[in-house]
Amino acid sequence: GAEGESILLFLDREGIAASSGSACTSGDLKPSHVLLGMGIPPQIAHSSIRFSLSYETTKNEVDYVIAKLPAIIANIRKMSPYGDDVSQKMV
Does the active-site annotation cover 31? no
Residues β-bridged to residue 50: 19
Cβ-based neighbours of 36, under 8 Å, separated by 6 or more = 42, 45
Catalytic option among 1, 7, 12, 24: 24
Q: Do the beta carbons of residue 4 and residue 46 sit within 8 Å?
A: yes
- What is the gyration radius of the CA atoms in the chain, in angstroms? 13
Active site residues: 24
